[in-house]
Amino acid sequence: MPRTPVRKRARSTHKSPDAASAFAPDTLAVAPRHLEVGTDHVASFAVTGYPREVHPGWLQPLLTYPGRVDVALHIGPIDPVTAANRLKRQLAKMESGRRHTQEHGRLLDPHVEAATEDAYELSAWVARGEGKLYRVGLYLTVHAATADALTDEVTAVRSLAASLLMDAKPTTYRSLQGWITCLPLGLDPIRMRRTFDTAALAASFPFTNPDLPPPDPASMTAPSGVLYGYNIGSQGLVHWDRFALDNHNSVVLGRSGAGKSYLVKLELLRSLYRGVEVHVIDPEDEYARLAIAVGGTHIRLGDQSVRINPFDLPLHTRPDGRRGAPRDALLRRSLFLHTALAVLLGTELAPGERAVLDRAITATYQRAGITADPRTWARQAPLLADLADVLSRAQDRTAHDLAARLHPYVEGAFSGLFDVPTTTRPEGHLVVFSLRDLADELKPIGTLLTLDAVWRQVSNPALRRPRLVVVDEAWLLMKEPAGADFLFRMAKASRKRWAGLTVATQDTADVLGSDLGKAVVANAATQILLRQAPQAIDEITATFNLSDGERQFLLSAGRGQGLLSTGTQRVAFQAIASPAEHALVTTDPAELAAYDVDSGEVDDFALDPEGGAADSYDLGPDDDGYVDLGPG
């Protein structure tokens, strides 16, 4: 038969009855597994089983439980001498048990093996003074209004604890002591404790939050930035504002199929909501539907009507309405041509070749009437064919060799991108450069030329607004040393132009395998790691200093799951999208076939009532003979 609750009248020895009544309950009924404290029903639990490895803020689900749950953490330090002696005895017991098991031919217990490894590791930390040991007790008290509600709450809390790999045991016949343990009195009559090391105790600190900290904790306004998804370790959402950091760059690394392009397009679309201007270098034509839906500009490199001349000088419209260029515009363009030709030829130029090429570039501009005088810079720029002609006419064998190597790009199969003056004007709130129609041999130089065109827009002093530059599949450019160097310089200078560079790639080895690639990653204040291949996880772990838990998470993460690292904070998140956003950013062939994109019916994708179509340009030279890549 159930035991009848013992009801007691709470008493106080305090001289003031009014002060005592403010803290003591009116009645207290004690049952084997619960208490009735006034009108509340409470049940207490002691945690006896813990996960082998924890991450910072792992107790957050308990702290954010929608019901009323008191969480008490009792900590008692263990002096190093006692800790070392206890670990020594524990290791002796474990080794003795292992030898006994082996001598009798029995299978080893994996739990004992894991505990032995942990004991050896703890012993080494304590011996080196790298950590200390603590006796920690974790207790829970669940509150409810009625007995039936308490039963439901207890079931839910125990299930939540089990999902965190914790074993919560009820304080049967010690319910009063369990309740006292969770009161703010510093008393622990239950004394069911577990040994923790320093790192595990720090991760268990009750006020540790797995969510990203807000810029202003005292502010009650809505979080700024872009919504990336929901936090896997808590019930919160992951908002992040790249433009609130020291630099606005980000890097997205993930294996093929991990959801890398999906996440980048989702961030791009939500950045457009905030009025951010976006430029995209798209190697696989994955951003076309998005550009059509939002009325952006879609430029297909490799099309017969699209040409980009690398000799164009960066002329801009000044704030006073006049057109001009930096005083060193011709010198900077000559230096860029060295980089462009190195990427075009697929090799680093020797010192002798660079000297010959430098003289030839100067002569080519002079033949077009462009000199050091800024008044001549508005004239039509020469073409790559003019440079090849200057090289072929020079009385130098190196110049002739360079002219021969340029022949496929001047008159041969790859001349379609450079044979006429520039015909594209990359303007708009979203500009997408598609490289799918380019030959594989031209994709590195196509990426570089589009980056240069984007940089002209970003560096235009007449247009000051936040911008994002997205380089999808950046390994196409990173595999060329000259291209990686240009990307690195752009990452360093974007902050001064109120711009952020997003580098997304699935070939992690090409990015992290070079010093320039690591420098690009280091200059990104926002770093996103999606699911990684086992072959690349070691390098990822070393570069980003991942813990064992983070390493395993990246190896087993689902599509769209990843780690958002912001320097001092890391959070595991799952990308989420609304149905309308998903229709725009998905690359699933089955879903794309269902949308019937090729029919040209894109109204369902439009985000504004008026719809919109991608703009395309086929522009000739201005009246002054110059094809401007900037506005005006």
- Looking at every residue in the chain, the average pLDDT score rounds to 78
DSSP string, 547-559: -HHHHHHHHH--T
Q: What pLDDT is recorded for position 7?
A: 47
Q: What pLDDT is recorded for position 155?
A: 92
Q: Would the pLDDT of 389 be above 60?
A: yes
Q: What pLDDT is recorded for position 170?
A: 93
Q: What pLDDT is recorded for position 316?
A: 56
Q: How confident is the model at residue 41 (pLDDT cuts 50, 70, 90)?
A: very high
Q: Would the pLDDT of 22 be above 50?
A: yes
**Strand ranges inside 314-398, DSSP E:** 316-317, 323-324
632 contacts 619 by C-beta, under 8 angstroms: no
| Residues 79-126: tens digit of each pLDDT | 877 877 877 787 788 778 878 888 887 777 777 777 777 777 777 777
Q: Would the pLDDT of 612 be above 50?
A: no
| Residues 395-451: tens digit of each pLDDT | 888 888 888 888 888 887 777 777 778 887 777 888 888 888 888 778 788 878 887
CA distance linking residue 618 with residue 422, whole number of Å: 9
Sign (positive or negative) of CA dihedral 62, 561, 511, 341: negative
Q: How confident is the model at residue 157 (pLDDT cuts 50, 70, 90)?
A: very high
Per-residue pLDDT, averaged over 16-44, amounts to: 79
What residues have CB less than 8 Å from 318, skipping those under 6 apart?
324, 461, 462
Q: What pLDDT is recorded for position 189?
A: 93
Residue 213 to residues 216, 218, 240, Cα–Cα distance (Å): 8, 11, 10
Q: What pLDDT is recorded for position 610?
A: 38
Per-residue pLDDT, averaged over 452-472, amounts to: 79
Q: What pLDDT is recorded for position 486?
A: 74
Q: What pLDDT is recorded for position 154?
A: 93
Q: What pLDDT is recorded for position 606?
A: 40
Q: Bin 356: left if φ > 0, else alpha if -120 < ψ < 50, else beta.
A: alpha
Which of 5-9, 65-69, 198-202, 605-609 has the lowest average pLDDT?
Answer: 605-609
pTM score: 0.59
Q: What pLDDT is recorded for position 619?
A: 30
Give the residue, 91 or 269, on which the prediction is more confident. 269
Per-residue pLDDT, averaged over 537-545, amounts to: 84
What DSSP element (H or E) covers 148? helix 147-163
Among 448, 414, 415, 421, smallest CA distance to 433 is for 448
Domains of the chain: 6-12+23-203 (no CATH), 239-306+429-595 (3.40.50.300), 307-423 (1.10.8.730)
Q: What pLDDT is recorded for position 212?
A: 63
CA distance linking residue 546 with residue 543, whole number of Å: 8
| Residues 317-336: tens digit of each pLDDT | 444 445 555 677 888 888 88
Q: Would the pLDDT of 44 be above 90?
A: yes
Q: What pLDDT is recorded for position 631?
A: 31
Report the 10 Å Cβ neighbour count for 44: 27
Q: Would the pLDDT of 386 be above 70?
A: yes
Q: What pLDDT is recorded for position 12?
A: 41
Q: How confident is the model at residue 188 (pLDDT cuts 50, 70, 90)?
A: very high
Which of 288-302, 350-364, 482-496, 536-550 has the lowest average pLDDT?
Answer: 482-496
Q: Would the pLDDT of 622 be above 60?
A: no
DSSP string, 357-368: HHHHHHHHHHHT
Q: Would the pLDDT of 524 be above 60?
A: yes
Q: What pLDDT is recorded for position 122?
A: 74
DSSP string, 243-300: GGSS---EEEE--TTSSHHHHHHHHHHHHHHTT-EEEEEESSS-SHHHHHHTT-EEEE
List % helix, strand, coil for the chain (3-state, nearest 5): 40, 20, 40
Q: What pLDDT is recorded for position 477?
A: 67
